[in-house]
A and B are shown apart, each in its own frame.
Chain A
Amino acid sequence: MSRNNEITVRVDHVTKSFGDFTAVRDLSLDVRAGRVFGLLGPNGAGKSTTIRMIVNITVPDTGSIKLFGTKIDSQLQDRIGYLPEERGLYKSMKVVDQLRFFAQLKNVKGKEADRRIDSWLERLRVSDWKQRKTRELSKGMQQKIQFISAVLHEPDLVILDEPFSGLDPVNVELLKDVVLELKRGGRTIIFSTHLMDIAEKICDDICLLNRAQKVLEGSIREVKSSFGRNAIALRLEGANGNLETSPLISKIEHHSDEMEVLLAPEVDPQVFLKELISSGAAVTKFEMIEPSLNDIFIAKVSET
């Protein structure tokens, strides 16, 4: 995409405290246009506070935030779609009335609003619930309705705070597809999550927060290669007796029918393979693997 170097959100040396507690400390990050940006981190790392500052619900103590190159104002708010972590809908309103209301608040009116509402309800498979009151909906369905309210006005920037929490696997897949669709439509997406496997599948760039600070950032590629560990997926038939004591290995993780082996630093995988074969083991699988985002997450979080 040609706009890839355009910056949609720039967070510049931002600090935010609540009383004695510092929620975000000296955070800087850039979100590039047309990309999916994952804000990752354990609970309480400062993800939601960062997001609230980006959507102008709270204001940084120091530092600045710019959206689309300018300071946020009410005009810019219409170009943002926001799904907060704490869900809230008007319980006694009908789904369709509720969505119309949210559309109006973003200056989308009349037939155009109705057309978009219908198509989104269809897309997220909740059309049957259009005329029902919100309190009759399950939690997952309410979440979908709220997601629709965040994207109805076709915002350039979509900000989703923990969008997948509380959804069943089918709906996680559905929502994941929708997010990728939005990306293909040229929208910039920021989302926070602590579900690393999903982040790994849909993020272009990530920023890992821990205890109010940034501990890692970059594209998924960069992050993984910079983290480059010597990990090998291994399946052996027969003898593997001396693996546990081998000086070449720093860690073994056993899965159902194979294992993940982490080599000791500076060990050449080829040397390890030779060693295996000479020890008489029948190697049926030997695959160099990248560290998963989950591994990186755990390593980084426990490190700081």
Chain B
Amino acid sequence: MTKLLAIIKREYLQRVRARMFIVTTIGLPIAMALFGLAPALVMSIEAGTPLRILVLDETGKLFGRLQGAVRVEEVEEPKDEFGAQQRKDALEKARQQNFILEEVPLAGRSEAEINTELDRRLKAKEIDAYLILPADLMQNGKALFYRRNTSDLFSTRKIQGALDGAIREQRLSDAHVDAATLKELARPSQFETMRISSAGNERDSGWGFVLMFFGGFVMYISVLLYGQVVLGAVIEEKETRIAEVLFSSVKPFTLLMGKLLGVSLVALTQLTIWGLAVAGFGVYGINLLASRGIPLVVPKVPLLFYVYFVLFFLVGYFVYATLYALIGSIVTTSQEGGQLAMPIIVLLVISFYLFLPVSKNPDSTLAFWLSIIPFFAPISMLVRIITQTPPLWQIVLSLVIGVSTATLLTWVSARIYRIGMLMHGKRPTIPELIRWVRQN
């Protein structure tokens, strides 16, 4: 036991102290923060300087509606879970004008005269843009938008959208349809998915699916990232020829188990730090969105789901990590290991995509077997738990099989490792491997 702990400790400390580990662990959240905050910062800069636009409205009907459309477009009705003050603030922020529209009277001048005049003012930077709405716009005319900066598609689209809205309203008004009638006609259907379970009917927010997808994804990424690390760690002693000394002190099984656990603790450390960072940004982001009037309600997921998530994540990780350890015990160099590890990645991708058939038919025989086979179980079982929770004995069985598989694989790897360590160069054949495993 002391020996196992010594190996775990060495493995953990060596890796956690490595510069690469520190850089990636801290670097990722920082990069995330930059990517997350930069757009928000840019937006706030843009909001500070509204676009000054002059409008020549030859139809004589659209300017008012256009101005209204630009102003209210962004505003959503704040949800009632907010207090009165917050509601007012949110509304105010949303009402903030990104555009200042001003009408240019024709005043007897020709269009060409006005064009020249407006071009001059545009070049002199008195205004940012001008919009010409010809008299036949409502029929088949073309609105012309002049800007110095045509690459700001975002604002251009907004103006275009607002103009579309203004024209639609005007046409409806010409056809004597008022806004209230229109709103009533365009009202969407009410739709809600109900989840039937033994605990009674609950509302399904779709959050379960998100969690499931996210869980599968995190598992996939961590196996990809740390599987390679496990592979490298197992090969390390072979490449440096330390294994021979170690084997005069510890059993190969203890060595492999220690390395596996050590690397896994490193993985968990990194994932926990990243997880906390994501959670932090999540809370911050939700608050930020809420303060801008876009509330995001986090649906409640039963605590048990999180427990299952952690359990199946760990089991899944270990099953795949031991596969990498097995590869590591067979090969002599890391390049060779990388090639041989390809099938593991294929297996992992398959198990990830299997969530589709399983989520469609979580109670089918296929789903049952997939959630029992250790390489597919973690993702399949999680999907089943979230969609239609299977009996407890199936969940326990799946976990037990997973843990046993990981232990068995470690044992087999240790046997191969012990003999493979003394072999140089040539990769063993499968019959040879079987003989090594059976050999005392």
Contact = CB atoms under 8 A, between A and B. Distances in A.
Contact of B237 (A77, A88, A101, A102): A88
B14 A90 contact: yes
B242 interface: yes
B36 to A, nearest CB: 35
Q: Which of B10, B241, B245, B419 has the most CB of A within 10 A?
A: B245
B6 A104 contact: yes
Nearest to A87: B241
A196 B205 CA distance: 82
Interface stretch (B41-49, B248-256, B261-269): B248-256
A180 interface: no
Contact of B243 (A88, A105, A107, A109): A88
A58 B251 contact: no
Interface string A40-70: 0000000000001001111100000000000
Contacts of B10: 93, 97, 101
Interface in B220-254: 237, 240-251
Contacts of A194: none
B2 A84 contact: no
A57 B14 contact: no
A95 B242 CA distance: 15
Given A106-B249, A149-B245, A88 B240 contact: yes
A173 to B, nearest CB: 25
Contacts of A90: 14, 240, 242
B3 interface: yes
A266 interface: no
Nearest to B249: A105
B422 interface: yes
A101 B241 contact: no
Interface in A69-90: 74, 77-78, 80, 82-84, 86-90
A184 interface: no
A92 interface: yes
Contact of A88 (B242, B250, B251): B242
Given A74-B251, A77-B249, A90-B14, A57 B3 contact: no
Contacts of A77: 248-250
B6 A101 contact: yes
Interface in A122-172: 146, 149-150
B440 interface: yes
A146 B422 contact: no
Interface residues of A, number: 32
A91 interface: yes
Nearest to A146: B245
A77 B246 CA distance: 11
Contacts of B250: 74, 77, 105
Contact of A89 (B2, B6, B240, B440): B240
A139 to B, nearest CB: 13
Contacts of A83: 245
A149 B244 CA distance: 13
Contact of B244 (A74, A88, A102, A107): A88
A80 B248 contact: yes
A77 to B, nearest CB: 6
Contacts of A52: 244, 422
A92 B2 contact: no
A97 B247 CA distance: 19
B240 A91 contact: yes
A8 to B, nearest CB: 16
A102 B2 contact: no
B333 to A, nearest CB: 15
A78 B244 CA distance: 15
A105 B244 contact: no
A56 B249 CA distance: 10
B176 to A, nearest CB: 83
Contacts of B246: 105
B3 A104 contact: yes
A57 B249 contact: no
A59 B248 contact: no
Q: List 8 A-B pairs, minimum CB-CB distance, nearest first.
A: A88-B241, A104-B6, A88-B242, A82-B248, A105-B249, A84-B244, A86-B241, A88-B240
Interface of B: 2-3, 6-7, 10, 14, 237, 240-251, 418-419, 422, 439-440
9 contacts: A74-B250, A77-B249, A84-B241, A88-B240, A88-B243, A90-B240, A97-B10, A106-B249, A107-B2
